[in-house]
């Protein structure tokens, strides 16, 4: 399950790269949410899922605003406004450390020194992969500094949302819970699209295929896996899986776009794998 999740999640930046030239971020995300709501609604009806209580709906909606609304909105707008995707990945790659810190304060999770070491190694590995992908740290400049705000919003949304899901949404079934989350995110993206964007969309084949994958592969497949992983494991351990996403994304970019995967990126990928292993694998007594 973690392997499949990492692979699905890694395709998010590629899907955004394919789709953003044809639609503005909030508009593209709104269509993505609406399509996902339709798919999950049919799945919930077919499974005869048990819908949460009013209190459960409220908590689940907050999770949706954080995990989907703030995270996706921040990432898409940072890329749209000129920040390189590699730089976005580095900043959002701080998420496991941020989630671990929030989990310690809110959930009182005990994190061993070995796990902290794994989180730090993972961050170093992510940085090496992104430096190799960008061709050097000096190429990270040249984007508006205020776009950092979007990445901070994305980082805060996914970090706090992971812990909030663990704390308040344990009794909510996966499919109806995801349905409520996307409804809440759709409302946020609709407000953003009508308030700040022209809502013009060029429905080219590339956009249709990218949106289809973002809906089925990411919004349905990856998110349901993420919710299940959060339910089964500690929030900080689940968050450490995100360290594997940049190396996998770099490999996909090498296959799809013939981007060079050099020695530095390979070393960074190995460090990320080692860091995840230290943070996730529990030592038997």
Average pLDDT estimate for 243-261: 74
Q: How far apart are the first and last CA of the chain?
A: 25
**What pLDDT, on the 0 to 100 scale, is given for residue 100?**
74
- What's the pLDDT tens digit per position in 54-99? 999 999 999 999 999 999 999 999 888 877 666 777 778 777 777 7
CA dihedral 249, 251, 256, 259 (to 10 degrees): 100
The closest alpha carbon to 56, from 175, 168, 188, 162, belongs to 168
Domain ranges, ordered by start, for the chain: 2-118+145-234
- Spatial contact of 169 and 60, defined as CB atoms under 8 Å apart: yes
Percentage of the chain beyond pLDDT 70 is: 87
Better pLDDT: 146 or 22 = 22
Q: Which 3 state secondary structure label does DSSP give 285? A: coil
Query: What is the per-residue pLDDT for 280?
Result: 65
| Alpha carbon separation from 68 to 60, 104, 137 (Å, rounded) | 11, 23, 29
What's the pLDDT at 110? Answer: 73
Confidence of residue 133 (pLDDT cuts 50, 70, 90): low
pLDDT over threshold 70, residue 147: yes
Decide if 69 contacts 183 (C-beta within 8 A).
Answer: no
Q: What is the pLDDT of residue 8?
A: 87
Confidence class of residue 134 from pLDDT cuts 50, 70 and 90? low
Percent of the chain at pLDDT above 90? 32
Alpha carbons 48 and 254: distance in angstroms, whole number: 42
Tally of CB atoms within 10 A around 168? 16
Least confident interval from 2-11, 140-149, 156-165? 140-149
Residue at token pair 């230290």? 278
Q: Looking at residue 140, what is its pLDDT?
A: 43
Read off the pLDDT of each residue in 190-206 and give the average, rounded to a whole number.
94
Query: How is residue 172 written in tokens?
Result: 């909510």
55-69, 148-162, 180-194: range with lowest mean pLDDT:
148-162
What confidence score (pLDDT) does residue 281 get? Answer: 64
Please, which pLDDT band fits residue 138 given cuts at 50, 70 and 90?
A: very low
pLDDT band at 260 (very low <50, low <70, confident <90, very high): low
What is the average pLDDT value for the chain, to the nearest integer?
Answer: 82
Task: Kindly report each contact of residues 30-35 with a partner whose C-beta sits within 8 Å and lies 24 or more positions away, as own/partner.
Answer: 30/186, 30/189, 30/190, 30/193, 31/201, 31/211, 32/211, 32/214, 32/215, 32/219, 33/68, 33/182, 33/183, 33/185, 33/186, 33/189, 33/219, 34/186, 35/211, 35/215
All residues at 6 or more sequence positions from 14 whose CB lies less than 8 Å from its CB, including other chains = 249, 252, 253, 256
> What confidence tens digit (pLDDT) does each residue in 59-70 have?
999 999 999 999
């Amino acid at each position: 399950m973690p392997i499949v999740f990492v692979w699905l999640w890694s395709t998010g930046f590629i899907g955004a790269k394919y789709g953003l030239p044809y639609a503005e971020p909030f508009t593209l995300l709104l269509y993505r949410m609406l399509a996902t709501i339709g798919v999950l609604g049919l799945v919930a009806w077919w499974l005869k899922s048990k819908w949460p209580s009013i209190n459960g709906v409220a908590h689940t909606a907050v999770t949706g605003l954080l995990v989907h609304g703030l995270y996706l909105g921040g990432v898409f707008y940072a890329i749209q406004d000129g920040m390189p995707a590699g730089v976005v990945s580095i900043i959002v790659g701080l998420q496991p450390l941020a989630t671990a810190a929030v989990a310690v304060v809110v959930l009182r999770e005990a994190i061993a020194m070995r796990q902290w070491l794994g989180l730090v190694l993972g961050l170093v590995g992510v940085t090496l992969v992104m430096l190799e992908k960008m061709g050097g740290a000096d190429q990270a400049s040249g984007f508006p500094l205020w776009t950092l705000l979007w990445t901070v919003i994305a980082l805060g949304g996914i970090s706090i949302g992971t812990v909030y899901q663990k704390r308040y949404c344990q009794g909510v079934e996966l499919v109806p819970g995801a349905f409520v989350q996307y409804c809440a995110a759709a409302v946020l993206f609709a407000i953003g699209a009508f308030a700040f964007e022209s809502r013009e969309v060029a429905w080219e084949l590339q956009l249709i295929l990218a949106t289809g994958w973002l809906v089925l592969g990411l919004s349905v497949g990856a998110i349901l896996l993420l919710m299940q992983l959060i339910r089964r494991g500690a929030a900080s351990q689940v968050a450490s899986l995100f360290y594997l996403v940049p190396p996998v994304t770099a490999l996909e970019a090498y296959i799809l776009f013939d981007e060079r995967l050099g020695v530095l990126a390979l070393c960074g990928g190995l460090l990320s794998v080692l860091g995840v292993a230290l943070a996730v694998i529990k030592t038997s007594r």
